[in-house]
Structure 1
Amino acid sequence: MTQTRAKAVVFDIGNVLIEWQPERHYDAMIGESRRRQLFSEVDLHAMNDAVDRGGDLKALSDALAEATPAWRSEIRMWHDDWIRMASPAIPRSVRLLRALRARGVPVYALTNFGIGTFAMAQEVYDFLNEFDRAYVSGHMAVIKPDTRIYEMLEADSGLSGADLIFADDRADNIAAAAARGWQVHHFTGPEGWAERLVADGYLSTEEAA
């Protein structure tokens, strides 16, 4: 059954518009066995969460590297290789974003992303400059799935509940949005997202190709 059309479509970025697979990159650089040991001994994802809350990646990675000298070079790799980890783009998702905007549908981003890393990504990926509104956790000092980040988007945009449809790859982020009455799509690939946008009347089959 087709739902009421939302007034804005909200995209997550990591693993929706750009692949974000740090483990894959580390596997290629240091081997899977050593990567597993590193990630079991050093909480790199917690460091990244601090970046996404507004912290500086260079300062945080340097501090963690100095506190964990056995893994110093591998920890610094998170900063030095960051744009290589945040790659490649997901072309069909980018086409969907642009097709929606061509139809005049407002398109927002709601993303866990650092201040400096988002600026870096915008230089590499031009489509990250094309949102009608971009809600970036580093600037907001709160990350998904904290309820506050959804409230902040609603307050700023003037939209709430079913006026928003949100695609994210993480079930916890989707659940938090659904709890506020947003329409949601659990992103597992651009094909399913395209089908949803067609089914709900945002795009034609041809536009979503």
Structure 2
Amino acid sequence: MTKPQAVIFDIGNVLIEWQPERFYDRAIGRERREAMFAAIDLHAMNDKVDRGAHFRETVYAEAELWPDWTPEIRMWHDRWIEMAAPVIDHSVRLLRALRRKGVPVFALSNFGIQTFEIGEANYPFLEEFDRRYISGHMGVIKPEAEIYRMVEEDCGLRPETLLFTDDRADNIAAAEVRGWQTHLFDGPKGWAARLVADGLLDAEDAT
């Protein structure tokens, strides 16, 4: 197998936990959260943000459509940073270890324009990538083929030389169709082992 020439990280649930349901369970209780998510497709709302729609305007407009849930929906904007937490520290260490080894490291993430700005303000390591491919700025989201093509075109590397990790199987499958090497992320230990197996890090670097 071709040794990867660049490593591409998803962000949500790879570098930062992203669990809106968990947040709402704490904030309003599981029963009410389940009722709200059954009534309203909040993840579809978030997809609009990830495609580049304005964060506050999108969330607040959705909230106005659901008078019984308006305060709760607005939390998606007002308390977003509590959903995008905590940092997965071992994954951040792996990112930095790769860079110390001189391996180019990219981000490819479904993220809104304004939400990424909030993320950067709270998580400085998001500025450490060699290249960042953020869906809100690109106008397309994973797993649509176009976003992977745009990455290839911009970085200039052959698909088979890219190693991509993501926690969603559909995003991984779309990358594999393009010929990328992939790792379905289910925790930083498995990802660390993959990086060692591919000769990108040694065992000490990967801890």
TM-score, normalised by the number of residues in structure 2: 0.99
CA shift at 1:11, angstroms?
0.2
Question: Structure 2 CA distance, aligned partners of 1:18 and 1:165?
Answer: 19
User: Quick one: which of 90, 93, 99 aligns to 1:92?
Assistant: 90
What percent identity do the matched residue pairs reach?
Answer: 62
Please tell me the residue identity of whatever aligns with 1:28. Answer: R
Tell whether 2:59 aligns with 1:61: yes
Q: Which runs of 5+ in 1 are unaligned?
A: none
Q: Which runs of 5+ in 2 are unaligned?
A: none
> 1:71 maps to which residue?
69
Q: How many residues in Structure 1 have an aligned counterpart in Structure 2?
A: 207
Question: Structure 2 CA distance, aligned partners of 1:166 and 1:183?
Answer: 6
Please tell me the residue identity of whatever aligns with 2:202. Answer: S
Tell whether 2:153 aligns with 1:155: yes
Please tell me the residue identity of whatever aligns with 1:49. Answer: D
> 1:123 maps to which residue?
121
Question: Structure 2 CA distance, aligned partners of 1:66 and 1:74?
Answer: 11
Alpha-carbon displacement from aligned partner over 1:55-80 (angstroms, at most 9, x marks no partner): 11110111111111110000001001
CA shift at 1:160, angstroms?
2.8
> 1:113 maps to which residue?
111
User: Quick one: which of 127, 130, 133 aligns to 2:131?
Assistant: 133
Question: Match of 1:88, SS?
Answer: strand
Please tell me the residue identity of whatever aligns with 2:18. Answer: W
Question: Structure 1 CA distance, aligned partners of 2:61 and 2:124?
Answer: 32
> 1:175 maps to which residue?
173
Question: Structure 2 CA distance, aligned partners of 1:61 and 1:12?
Answer: 23
Root-mean-square deviation over aligned CA pairs: 0.6
Tell whether 2:139 aligns with 1:145: no
TM-score, normalised by the number of residues in structure 1: 0.98
CA shift at 1:4, angstroms?
1.9
Tell whether 2:32 aligns with 1:38: no
> 2:50 maps to which residue?
52
Question: Structure 2 CA distance, aligned partners of 1:20 and 1:150?
Answer: 22
- Could you list the runs of 4 or more consecutive aligned residues of structure 1 that deviate by over 3 angstroms after TM superposition? none
Please tell me the residue identity of whatever aligns with 1:176. Answer: A
Question: Structure 2 CA distance, aligned partners of 1:112 and 1:160?
Answer: 22
Question: Structure 2 CA distance, aligned partners of 1:17 and 1:89?
Answer: 6
> 2:23 maps to which residue?
25
